[in-house]
Amino acid sequence: MKPALFLITNNFPFGRGESFLHPELTEIKQFFSKVIILSKNQVDAKTSEVDASIYRINLVSPWSDYVILPLLMFRHFLFLAKILFDEVGFIANHGGLKFSSIQKMLHDASKALLLSKKMETIINKEIGKQPVILYSYWLNNSALATMITFRGSKGITRISRAHSGDLYEYRHQSNYLSFRRTLLIGLDQVLSISEDGKRYLLSTVGDNYSEKISVSRLGTANPKSFEITTDTRQKFCVASCSYLLPVKQVDKILRAVALASKNEIRHVHIGGGSQEGEINKLAQTLSHSNPNSTFYFTGNIPQTAIGDVYLNEMPSIFINASKNEGIPVTMMEAMSYGIPVIAPDVGAIHELVTWESGLLLSPNPTEEDFANAITTIRTMPEHEYLKLREGARKVWETKFNAAVNFPNFAQRVLNLSHAV
């Protein structure tokens, strides 16, 4: 009998976050008897159609939580006491006890308890006693909730992906993410989306847990049509794709494009966000002072429409300027179209971008560095540029093809469920 898949997300299929889950579910749903999604997004409208039973949970502490939480704490008292005692010891040995760390620990434990209660209710309704795989998309309190849900029961496999913000502690003000070791002990497998993520997690919890951590890459769908043997630099176009947030440093891309605009150059950015007004104003200023540079912003568009932008605009290069990253799905998609990438060496970007597929810059490149990289690719001989295009496509084919990676992920998870 095929097990059911119970997926816990922060947003999907609501709002703008985690849109890249759609191609994953499209590829893996055939491996499971049914798919259930529990989203923590209680506010936004549905933005993705998916063949699954969908539920939402409000974790913003409504008054009812104050009644339910003490009962859950009593029910799971021994388990809670053990993991909290272990976590306090872990915190003390790794940077010392801080109020912010203790607060984060207690917050995540309480949210995991409430989430597990909701999960048990849904499982009783949708699945009953049949085997189920509890799949937390993030290594956070959702993953802890999978450990609490029907704790000790047979036929339940508990897994989590690990990305970036849920993995790299140095990206957080408190330099702390809760229950790292507890999760490695209690989950059947943690699947990092990159080799860099796996190495970092092992450096945090120790090599004793190496068998519990594996790499399972994300991926994107194969484009419907594109031509890789074409030199797309005659009408030179720079593409970027991200939310317009300070951490993404899209303003740095705009300034780099302006600096590199000795000849005509067009920049197309896909995505919106809190900086939309500020970035549009900067684009107007730069295009006024640098007439050879033009800027176009698509705003937020469906994930399925991004490929149409690439086919219509035919970008010569793709640029990422983020301060922090995991291993960006946006780069994978661009490279599937044979678009070379310019990016800083942060997170696991070096697993995507090499001298064969683009230009990997320092971790904190200047606008001038980006401008020089743009000029380097723009002025290189045609055979070298076409080789970069082929290299970008080859990286995607060998490492980030959704039709390969996601079925492999599903089969790995099924093998785990048979062993549990």
Structural domains of the chain, ranges and CATH numbers in brackets: 4-219+402-419 (3.40.50.2000), 237-399 (3.40.50.2000)
Rounded CA gap, 71 and 53, in Å?
28
Rounded CA gap, 181 and 383, in Å?
50
- Among 358, 346, 347, which residue's Cα sits nearest to residue 394? 358
The mean per-residue pLDDT over the stretch 333-343 comes to 97
List pLDDT tens digits, range 293-309.
Answer: 999 999 999 888 999 99
Asked whether the beta carbons of 193 and 219 are under 8 A apart, the reply is no
List pLDDT tens digits, range 180-200.
Answer: 999 999 999 999 999 999 999
Residue 419 has pLDDT above 60, yes or no: no
At 173, is the secondary structure helix, strand, or coil?
A: coil
List pLDDT tens digits, range 232-284.
Answer: 888 999 999 999 999 999 999 999 999 999 899 999 999 999 999 999 999 99
How much is the pLDDT for 420?
56
Asked whether the beta carbons of 158 and 123 are under 8 A apart, the reply is no
Length of the chain: 420
Rounded CA gap, 59 and 51, in Å?
25
- Among 334, 389, 325, which residue's Cα sits nearest to residue 363? 325
Residue 154 has pLDDT above 80, yes or no: yes
- Among 142, 146, 126, which residue's Cα sits nearest to residue 40? 142
Sheet with 341-344: strands ordered across: 293-297, 265-270, 237-241, 317-319, 341-344, 358-361
- Banded pLDDT at 171 (limits 50, 70, 90): confident
- Among 244, 408, 215, 389, which residue's Cα sits nearest to residue 322? 244
What's the whole-number average pLDDT of the chain? 93
How much is the pLDDT for 62?
63
How much is the pLDDT for 64?
65
Longest C-alpha distance within the chain, in Å? 70
Rounded CA gap, 142 and 94, in Å?
23
Output 124 or 95, whichever has higher pLDDT: 124
Residue 74 has pLDDT above 90, yes or no: yes
